Structure 1
């Protein structure tokens, strides 16, 4: 694999992890939201990655193939005085699990950082190679 191809592979991973981080941020921002006027609460979203061939044999990158919604029911809390309470006095919150999202955020952040480090190392190696030639 060519040294320049490393930038394409690592760049695809950085882009995918960036989208994953944005999705996690959206989930965390909506963790405590209640059902809207339509009765539907915010559904946690997850990115699905897909391997993508980068041209060379053995060189594969990654892309986000889709963003899915978790269809599990939201958390229901009995609070009859809440303005969004249903007929039984329950308020439906989003199905976002803040702890899982924080773990997801740490994982995505580390992957993002690792791929940036791969690109920086490749850049340094390329510069050293150019310096040897002069």
Structure 2
């Protein structure tokens, strides 16, 4: 039964990681049209970096074995792709030559990433609901 409780931990950590991913995507999309007069000042797309964390339990005699895993966000990295250079002489952020540096955010990629993150989040909600139902049925079996 304790393994069922570990499923809550795994799903909960995955939901937290996907929440960070969704917030990062939202930030990318919100800044997709923010121009800058310099390449250094242009917004750059960001992506979270996930890491699987294995928790070990002692198996006796100095050995250990993995007992459960979880997911955590270890970093949020900026894209190294160059910003797009766009000629817009009347833009308030245009440089002396009339160019604006636009973020390297691809809205199609961000939308696909958002759908993937949403589905991953939903899948983990389903895992938690299924685990809850299994625990409830186990308790009902003990009562009857």
* TM bracket (short chain): over 0.9
Query: How many aligned residue pairs are there?
Result: 134
Q: CA RMSD in A?
A: 1.8
- Of Structure 1 and Structure 2, the greater strand share is in 2
The 1:36/1:23 distance shift into structure 2, 3 A limit, reads farther
CA distance in 1, matches of 2:141, 2:40: 67
Superposed CA offset, 1:61-92 (max 9, x none): 11001000112111111112222112222111
Superposed CA offset, 1:2-21 (max 9, x none): 11110001111000000000
Q: Which 4+ stretches in 1 moved above 3 angstroms?
A: 36-39
Larger Rg: 2
CA distance in 2, matches of 1:120, 1:113: 11
Q: Please, what TM-score do these two structures have when normalized by structure 2?
A: 0.86
Unaligned runs of 5+ in 1: none
CA contact 2:37–2:95 (8 Å) conserved in 1: no
Q: Please, what TM-score do these two structures have when normalized by structure 1?
A: 0.92
